[in-house]
């Protein structure tokens, strides 16, 4: 009644969760294969995460970035420790903000170097967020429609087509921004050869290689960062979704030389990296680091079970999987929900599975059973 109608909401009202299960206001149980869109990495009501939130709420929720913040330092160290080289972190509150910061850092980096470069190459079917910079980076008409004029300075290429990148490369191109597995775009994977070519091009032309790890990062694909599946070394990565286990937080991580371009006063956020968010994320990150081989194992099992259904192509890595059907899948999502299975449909025909990282094989079996009942 009082809410804007920008979301098409399903008629279910969840009131609590435990582990990998959700419960609605009538007490019905649901197996969750969505995790709030790749957010609730530790599932629901994880005791350590809940404790961290409660303790920190009692001590100090927010202080502003005018002051030192040891929780930011501790979390940043964990993020950098898993990066391929030394780097520095900026904290914000969401994925789109992390990408805005990324776009600003890229521009500022070349400004500081005295080079007039500002254009960024992004890819069709990508998703980088809804604010102006990120939306302009998102090469999808349905996201941009009606909001023109967009932010200037983006050129679009085709994923896995290096020639299409060369075609839009200009003198003033600053870098390339991409997801190694497009999430909202339908779980579409970049090929290793393409990523290698892209990195080589970046080196040759002095471009920044920027990976949007908002959906793929923090253990989702079985590696801590998804770029680690490939022999590439990005200059910048962005994070959000799974980072806080449900507490809103985003981050920008850049190697030292690039990070330097954000000097005092150059960028900021009131809430970004507050003690509550950082302490929560610290719990998530430390736990996820111990879950990587679990994600890999259960993810491989899940993928195999989906392939055995024989209804369409299965794509993705770890616990970021998509099943492409030959027809729109929103109806299947609704039917599954009735049966007590929470899944999602993206890119029209792709069923997406991004469950809590703690799911076990038995949960996969149950999900497949419910999916069969729904599909056949």
Ligand X SMILES: *Cc1c(COP(=O)(O)O)cnc(C)c1O
Distant-in-sequence, close-in-space partners of 222: CB < 8 Å, separation ≥ 6? 229, 292, 293, 295, 296, 299, 317, 318, 319
Least distance to ligand X, CB of residue 93, Å: 8
Is 128 or 303 the residue whose CB approaches ligand X more closely?
128
Distance, in Å, from the CA atom of 108 to the CA atom of 263, rounded to the nearest integer, reads 10
Residue 215 touches ligand X, criterion: CB under 6 A: yes
Least distance to ligand X, CB of residue 169, Å: 23
Residue 240 touches ligand X, criterion: CB under 6 A: yes
3-state helix, strand, coil in the chain (%, to 5): 40, 20, 40
Residue 212 touches ligand X, criterion: CB under 6 A: yes
Rg (the chain; Cα; Å): 20
One of 96, 173, 280, 344 touching ligand X (CB under 6 A): 96
Least distance to ligand X, CB of residue 368, Å: 25
Residue 184 touches ligand X, criterion: CB under 6 A: yes
Question: Quick one: how far is CA 363 from the chain centroid?
Answer: 23
Residue 235 touches ligand X, criterion: CB under 6 A: no
Distance, in Å, from the CA atom of 170 to the CA atom of 168, rounded to the nearest integer, reads 6
Least distance to ligand X, CB of residue 193, Å: 22
Q: What are the tokens at 271?
A: 């809430």
Distance, in Å, from the CA atom of 251 to the CA atom of 277, rounded to the nearest integer, reads 11
Residue 136's H or E segment, with its range, is helix 132-137
Residue 189 touches ligand X, criterion: CB under 6 A: no
Is 56 or 96 the residue whose CB approaches ligand X more closely?
96
Helix (H, G, I), strand (E, B) or coil at 259: helix
Distance, in Å, from the CA atom of 246 to the CA atom of 248, rounded to the nearest integer, reads 6
- CB–CB of 34/359 below 8 Å? no
Positions 323 through 362 that interact with ligand X (CB under 6 A): none
Q: Which whole-number Å values give the CA distances from 271 to 56, 80, 240, 277, 281, in the listed order?
A: 15, 21, 14, 9, 14
Residue 322 touches ligand X, criterion: CB under 6 A: no
Residue 95 touches ligand X, criterion: CB under 6 A: yes
Is 52 or 92 the residue whose CB approaches ligand X more closely?
92
Range in contact with ligand X (rule: CB under 6 A) among 57-65, 149-157, 212-220, 321-329 = 212-220
Range in contact with ligand X (rule: CB under 6 A) among 8-16, 94-102, 310-318, 351-359 = 94-102
Range in contact with ligand X (rule: CB under 6 A) among 91-99, 114-122, 202-210, 252-260 = 91-99
Q: What are the tokens at 345?
A: 């449909």
Least distance to ligand X, CB of residue 129, Å: 4
Residue 78 CB neighbour total at 10 angstroms: 17
> Site map for ligand X, 119-148, x if CB under 6 A?
--------xxx-------------------
- Interstrand relation of 21-24 and 29-32 (parallel, antiparallel or unpaired): antiparallel
Positions 277 through 296 that interact with ligand X (CB under 6 A): none
Positions 142 through 181 that interact with ligand X (CB under 6 A): 179
Least distance to ligand X, CB of residue 112, Å: 26
Distance, in Å, from the CA atom of 371 to the CA atom of 363, rounded to the nearest integer, reads 12
Dihedral sign computed on CA atoms, order 195, 196, 201, 207? positive
Total chain residues near ligand X (CB under 6 A): 15
Q: Which residue is nearest to ligand X (CB)?
A: 95
Is 342 or 354 the residue whose CB approaches ligand X more closely?
354
Residue 100 touches ligand X, criterion: CB under 6 A: no
Q: Give residues in contact with ligand X (CB under 6 A).
A: 94-96, 99, 127-129, 179, 183-184, 212, 214-215, 240-241
């Amino acid at each position: 009644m009082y809410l804007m109608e920008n979301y098409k909401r399903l008629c279910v009202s969840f009131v609590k969760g435990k582990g990998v299960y959700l419960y609605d206001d009538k007490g019905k149980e649901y197996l969750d294969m969505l995790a709030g869109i790749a957010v609730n990495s530790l599932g629901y009501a994880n005791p350590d995460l809940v404790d961290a939130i409660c303790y920190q709420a009692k001590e100090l929720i927010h202080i502003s970035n005018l002051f030192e913040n040891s929780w930011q330092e501790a979390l940043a160290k964990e993020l950098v420790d898993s990066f391929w080289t030394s780097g520095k972190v900026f904290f914000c509150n969401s994925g789109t903000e992390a990408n805005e910061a990324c776009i600003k850092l890229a521009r500022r980096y070349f400004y500081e170097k005295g080079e007039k470069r500002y254009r960024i190459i992004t890819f069709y079917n990508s998703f980088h967020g809804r604010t102006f910079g990120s939306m302009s980076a998102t090469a999808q008409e349905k996201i941009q429609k009606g909001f023109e004029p967009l932010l200037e300075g983006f050129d679009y290429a085709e994923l896995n087509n290096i020639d299409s990148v060369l075609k839009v490369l200009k003198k003033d191109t600053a870098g390339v921004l991409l997801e190694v597995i497009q999430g909202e775009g339908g779980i579409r994977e970049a090929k290793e050869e393409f990523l290698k070519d892209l990195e080589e091009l970046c080196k040759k032309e002095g471009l920044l290689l920027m990976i949007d790890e908002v959906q793929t990062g923090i253990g989702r694909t079985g590696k801590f960062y998804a770029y680690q599946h490939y022999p590439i070394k990005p200059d910048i990565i962005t994070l959000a979704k799974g980072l806080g286990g449900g507490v809103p937080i985003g981050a920008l991580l850049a190697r030292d030389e690039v990070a330097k371009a954000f000097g005092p006063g150059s960028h900021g956020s009131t809430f970004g990296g507050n003690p509550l968010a950082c302490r929560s994320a610290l719990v998530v990150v430390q736990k996820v680091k111990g879950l990587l081989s679990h994600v890999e194992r259960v993810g491989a099992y899940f993928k195999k079970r989906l392939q055995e259904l024989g209804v369409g192509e299965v794509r993705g890595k770890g616990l970021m999987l998509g099943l492409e059907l030959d027809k729109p899948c929103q109806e299947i999502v609704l039917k599954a929900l009735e049966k007590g299975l929470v899944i999602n449909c993206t890119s029209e025909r792709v069923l997406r599975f991004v469950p809590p990282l703690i799911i076990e094989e038995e949960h996969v079996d149950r999900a497949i059973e419910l999916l069969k009942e729904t599909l056949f």
